[in-house]
Amino acid sequence: MEEKTATPSNFIRDIIDEDLRTNKHNQKVHTRFPPEPNGYLHIGHAKSICLNFGIARDYNGLCNLRFDDTNPEKEEVEYVESIEEDVRWLGFDWDNRMFYASDYFQQLYDFAVKLIKDGKAYIDSSTADELKEHRGTITESGKESPYRNRSVEENLELFLAMKDGKFEDGTHTLRAKIDMSSPNMLLRDPVIYRIKKADHHRTGDKWCIYPMYDYAHPLSDWIEGITHSICTLEFEVHRPLYDWFLEALNLENRPQQIEFARLNLSYTIMSKRKLLELVQEGYVSGWDDPRMPTISGLRRRGYTPESIRNFADRIGVAKRDALTDVVLLEYSLREDLNKHAPRTMAVLNPLKVIITNYPNDKTEEMEAVNNPEDISMGKRKLSFSKEIYIEQDDFQEVPHKKFHRLSPGNEVRLKYAYIIKCENVIKDEKGNITELHCTYDPETRSGGSSMKKVKGTIHWVSAKQAIKAEARLYDRLFTVEDPSADPEKDFKEFINPDSLKIITDCLIEPELAMAKPGDKFQFERLGYFCVDPLSTEKLLVFNRTVTLRDSWAKIEKK
Catalytic (active-site) positions: 36, 262, 272
- Kind of pairing between the strands at 228-232 and 256-260: parallel
Tell me the one-letter amino acid at 37.
P
> In this chain, which stretch among 218-226, 263-271, 331-339, 476-484 interacts with ligand ATP, using CB under 6 A?
263-271
Question: Is residue 446 a contact residue for ligand ATP (CB under 6 A)?
Answer: no
Least CB distance from residue 228 to ligand ATP, whole Å? Answer: 12
Residue 447 backbone zone (phi > 0: left; psi -120 to 50: alpha; other: beta): left
- Smaller CB separation from ligand ATP, 44 or 61: 44
Rounded CA separation 22/9 (Å)? 19
Rounded CA separation 67/35 (Å)? 5
Question: Is residue 270 a contact residue for ligand ATP (CB under 6 A)?
Answer: yes
DSSP structure string for 3-18? PP--PPP-HHHHHHHH
| E strand or H helix that includes residue 541 | strand 540-546
Q: Out of 30, 47, 200, 228, which residue is the one contacting ligand ATP (CB under 6 A)?
A: 47
Sign of CA dihedral 307, 313, 314, 320: positive
Question: Is residue 31 a contact residue for ligand ATP (CB under 6 A)?
Answer: no
> In this chain, which stretch among 39-47, 56-64, 289-297, 379-387 interacts with ligand ATP, using CB under 6 A?
39-47
Question: Is residue 263 a contact residue for ligand ATP (CB under 6 A)?
Answer: yes
Rounded CA separation 87/94 (Å)? 9
| Cα dihedral value 501, 505, 511, 515, nearest 10 | 50
Q: Out of 171, 271, 392, 504, which residue is the one contacting ligand ATP (CB under 6 A)?
A: 271
Question: Is residue 45 a contact residue for ligand ATP (CB under 6 A)?
Answer: yes
Rounded CA separation 512/506 (Å)? 12
DSSP structure string for 318-373? -SS---B-HHHHHHHHHHHHHHHPPEE-EESSEEEEEETTS-TT--EEEEEES-TT
In this structure, are residues 97 and 62 in contact, taking their beta carbons and an 8 Å threshold? yes
In this structure, are residues 220 and 101 in contact, taking their beta carbons and an 8 Å threshold? yes
Q: Per DSSP, what are the bridge partners of residue 408?
A: 422
Q: Which residue is nearest to ligand ATP (CB)?
A: 44
Question: Is residue 106 a contact residue for ligand ATP (CB under 6 A)?
Answer: no
**What angle (nearest 5°) sits at the alpha carbon of residue 429, between those of residues 428 and 430?**
90
Least CB distance from residue 233 to ligand ATP, whole Å? Answer: 9
Report the Cα 40 to chain-centroid distance in Å. Answer: 9
Backbone angles phi, psi at 6, to 5 degrees: -85, 90
Least CB distance from residue 113 to ligand ATP, whole Å? Answer: 27
- Smaller CB separation from ligand ATP, 70 or 155: 70
Question: Is residue 272 a contact residue for ligand ATP (CB under 6 A)?
Answer: yes
Q: Which of 70, 147, 141 is nearest to 105 (CA)?
A: 70
Question: Is residue 266 a contact residue for ligand ATP (CB under 6 A)?
Answer: no
Rounded CA separation 507/323 (Å)? 39
Query: Of residues 230-259, which lie at the interface with ligand ATP (CB under 6 A)?
Result: 231-232
- Smaller CB separation from ligand ATP, 230 or 526: 230
Question: Is residue 262 a contact residue for ligand ATP (CB under 6 A)?
Answer: yes
In this structure, are residues 41 and 86 in contact, taking their beta carbons and an 8 Å threshold? yes
Report the Cα 546 to chain-centroid distance in Å. Answer: 15
Least CB distance from residue 92 to ligand ATP, whole Å? Answer: 13
- Smaller CB separation from ligand ATP, 156 or 233: 233
> In this chain, which stretch among 34-42, 163-171, 175-183, 527-535 interacts with ligand ATP, using CB under 6 A?
34-42
Question: Is residue 44 a contact residue for ligand ATP (CB under 6 A)?
Answer: yes
Question: Is residue 84 a contact residue for ligand ATP (CB under 6 A)?
Answer: no
The site for ligand ATP, by CB under 6 A, has a size of 15
> In this chain, which stretch among 31-39, 103-111, 157-165, 306-314 interacts with ligand ATP, using CB under 6 A?
31-39
Least CB distance from residue 67 to ligand ATP, whole Å? Answer: 9
Binding mask 189-228 for ligand ATP (x = CB under 6 A): ----------------------------------------
- Smaller CB separation from ligand ATP, 231 or 284: 231
Rounded CA separation 549/275 (Å)? 28
Q: Out of 2, 36, 130, 144, which residue is the one contacting ligand ATP (CB under 6 A)?
A: 36
> In this chain, which stretch among 22-30, 269-277, 289-297, 298-306 interacts with ligand ATP, using CB under 6 A?
269-277
- Smaller CB separation from ligand ATP, 54 or 342: 54
Query: Which positions ≥6 away from 551 have C-beta within 8 Å?
Result: none
Least CB distance from residue 282 to ligand ATP, whole Å? Answer: 20
| E strand or H helix that includes residue 468 | strand 467-474
Question: Is residue 54 a contact residue for ligand ATP (CB under 6 A)?
Answer: no
| HSE value, Cβ hemisphere, 13 Å, CA-based, for 294 | 26
List residues binding ligand ATP (CB under 6 A). Answer: 34-36, 44-45, 47-48, 231-232, 262-263, 270-273
